[in-house]
Amino acid sequence: MTDSSSHVRTNIAALLAILTLSATTMVWLFWHFPLITTVATVAILAGLGVCARLARLTDADMTELQRRKQSV
């Protein structure tokens, strides 16, 4: 039981450390290079949005294929 709780605490500490490092890096970059950071952030978020739409489209196609296989 103690191994499990220490493992959970370690995972939470690692997550918080990664989030803190990420936020600090983003603030530093934005402070020193505001325009480039803004453009890069918007481009990355747009890319993720495109990936999410493509994933939805391919998921819908796979569902239709599975339905056709079941009906045959």
Cα–Cα distance measured from residue 29 to residue 70, given in angstroms and rounded to the nearest whole number: 53
- Which pLDDT value is given to residue 2? 58
Instruction: Please write the tens of the pLDDT for every residue from 25-72.
Output: 999 999 999 999 999 999 999 999 999 999 888 887 666 666 666 665
Give the tokens for residue 45: 């978020």
Domain regions of the chain by residue span: 1-32, 34-72
* Residue 4: per-residue pLDDT: 81
Return the pLDDT at 70: 66
- Among 44, 34, 13, 46, residue whose Cα is nearest residue 26: 34
DSSP 42: H
pTM of the predicted protein model: 0.59
